């Protein structure tokens, strides 16, 4: 039995967290938050530090450098706030990106080469605990803008003269903190305020997002996609709206139906993904087009349609194994299993080099299952190339 003292601490933590979140969110209404008024007051008193009165070429270059560096640091603080509080709230860290710099679990640094997300950065987290997930997700989402507001307030309160860099960091941090609490969506990105409003006000959309997080965590843990929790899948596709979440939910549903060999359900989910693919990044759009290639080739045996889908995918994509998957599926549909297996070996080699641990493991599991199906057909003799290690896949 849980002690009354422990229950009391949980109640206090809940009230404190919810109250802090509510105060921050409500303070943004009509631009009258304490952060906004405090920021404007400080800016008026320190305008000379933000924009120097006497301009020279050196001053202009220094100003630009301070703006860029302060903006980058403020974004690091924002994403780190999500990551740190998310882990403390029971989430599993996957990756963090600021600009082109990306950090993947366990500790691999790489340059992000994608485009078109509309975001200057992100943090990817999976829920480990599933109790009180709305509260913990709300705290994790609010942690980013709160970290910006807190860091700006701390610098303002410190008793020393602020230089140009500090002044710009304060201004940009206040801007990031307030703007991210405003509910909006731009391209494939939903603001922190938009997520919080969804979680607290739109029950169906909030349950869908949480269900997707749970499903993605199941996939990360190695649950075969045909065995994903039916209840979470049902919540994920319970609604269709004009948002990137609809695309993601039906992409998961497509994968589950594909591996269950429920081709009609898979085809319907795939059509829904393609219909909403204009709302997501080019990388996600290219991925679902390759899935359409694979589906038409492997399940429908429509080589003509598969080749049309593959032709629409650019020669160069963010992940270089995308087109190889499509080419392998077409070769399989043509009865060239040896050629398909060779393509899949190329896929494995490229996937093994990707820095993101979760993506690497999930992708390798899928390709290994595909290879096992081809080898078990008994229609080909195949020897793996010596350059590829033979390893057990779990």
Helix (H) or strand (E) holding 10: helix 4-27
55 vs 168: which has the higher pLDDT: 168
Instruction: With CA atoms as reference, report the closest residue to 249 among 276, 289, 221, 267.
Output: 276
> Is residue 1 predicted with pLDDT exceeding 70?
no
Q: In this predicted structure, what is the pLDDT of residue 161?
A: 63
- How many angstroms separate the Cα of 310 from the Cα of each of 169, 327, 329, 344, 350? 46, 8, 10, 16, 19
Question: Are the C-beta atoms of 311 and 275 separated by less than 8 Å?
Answer: no
Q: Which domains does the chain show, CATH number per domain?
A: 4-200 (no CATH), 203-376 (1.25.40)
Angle between helices 244-259 and 263-275 (to 10 degrees): 160
Strand partners, 125: 93
Phi, psi for 3 (deg, rounded to 5): -65, 155
Tokens of 124: 């990817």
pTM for the model: 0.78
pLDDT digits (tens, 9 = 90+) for 123-177: 989 888 778 888 999 999 999 999 999 999 898 888 776 688 888 898 899 989 9
> Lowest mean pLDDT: which of 25-34, 53-62, 102-111?
25-34
Q: In this predicted structure, what is the pLDDT of residue 20?
A: 42
Q: In this predicted structure, what is the pLDDT of residue 46?
A: 58
> Lowest mean pLDDT: which of 19-28, 55-64, 217-226?
19-28
Instruction: With CA atoms as reference, report the closest residue to 150 among 173, 169, 121, 183.
Output: 173
Question: Are the C-beta atoms of 321 and 346 separated by less than 8 Å?
Answer: yes
d(CA 76, CA 141): 15
> Lowest mean pLDDT: which of 179-188, 196-205, 247-256?
179-188
Tokens of 250: 């039906």
Q: How many CA atoms lie within 13 A of 317 on its CB side?
A: 25
> Is residue 293 predicted with pLDDT exceeding 50?
yes
Written in H, E and C, the secondary structure of 111-136 is ECCCCCCCCCEEEEEEECCCCCHHHH
Q: In this predicted structure, what is the pLDDT of residue 52?
A: 65
Confidence class for position 390, pLDDT limits 50, 70, 90 = very low
Task: Write the burial class of residue 159 (CB in 10 Å: 0-12 exposed, 13-18 middle, 19+ buried).
Answer: exposed
First to last CA, the chain: 38
């Amino acid at each position: 039995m849980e002690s009354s003292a422990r229950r009391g601490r949980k109640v206090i933590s809940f009230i404190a967290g919810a109250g802090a979140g509510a105060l921050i969110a409500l303070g943004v209404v009509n631009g009258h938050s304490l952060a906004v008024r405090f920021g404007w007051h400080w800016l008026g008193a320190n305008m000379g530090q933000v924009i120097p009165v006497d301009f020279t070429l050196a001053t202009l270059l220094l100003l630009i450098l301070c703006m860029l560096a302060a903006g980058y640091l403020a974004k690091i603080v924002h994403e780190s706030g999500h990551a740190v509080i998310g882990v403390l709230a029971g989430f599993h860290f996957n990756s963090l990106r600021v600009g082109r710099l990306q950090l993947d679990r366990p500790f691999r640094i790489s340059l992000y080469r994608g485009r078109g997300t509309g975001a200057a950065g992100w943090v990817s987290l999976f829920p480990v605990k599933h109790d009180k997930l709305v509260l913990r997700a709300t705290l994790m989402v609010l942690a980013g803008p709160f970290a910006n507001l807190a860091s700006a307030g701390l610098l303002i309160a410190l008793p020393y003269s602020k230089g140009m860099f500090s002044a710009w960091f304060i201004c940009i941090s206040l801007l990031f903190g307030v703007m991210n609490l405003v509910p909006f969506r731009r391209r494939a990105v939903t603001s922190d305020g938009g997520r919080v409003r969804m979680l607290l006000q739109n029950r169906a959309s909030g349950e869908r997002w949480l269900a997707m997080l749970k499903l993605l965590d199941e996939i990360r843990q190695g649950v075969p996609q045909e065995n994903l929790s039916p209840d979470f899948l049902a919540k994920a596709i319970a609604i269709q709206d004009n948002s990137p979440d609809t695309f993601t939910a039906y992409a998961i549903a497509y994968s589950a139906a594909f591996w269950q060999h429920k081709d009609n359900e898979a085809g319907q989910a795939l059509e829904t993904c393609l219909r909403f693919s204009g709302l997501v990044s080019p990388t996600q759009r290219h991925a679902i087009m390759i899935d359409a290639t694979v589906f038409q080739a492997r399940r429908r045996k429509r080589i003509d349609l598969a080749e049309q889908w593959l032709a629409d995918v650019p020669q160069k994509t963010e992940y270089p194994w995308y087109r190889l998957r499509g080419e392998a599926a077409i070769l399989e549909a043509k009865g060239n299993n040896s050629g398909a297996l060779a393509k899949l070996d190329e896929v494995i080699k490229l996937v093994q080099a990707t820095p993101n641990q979760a993506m690497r493991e999930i992708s390798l599991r899928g390709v290994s299952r595909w290879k096992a199906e081809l080898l078990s057909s008994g229609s080909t003799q195949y020897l793996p190339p010596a350059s590829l290690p033979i390893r057990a896949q779990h």
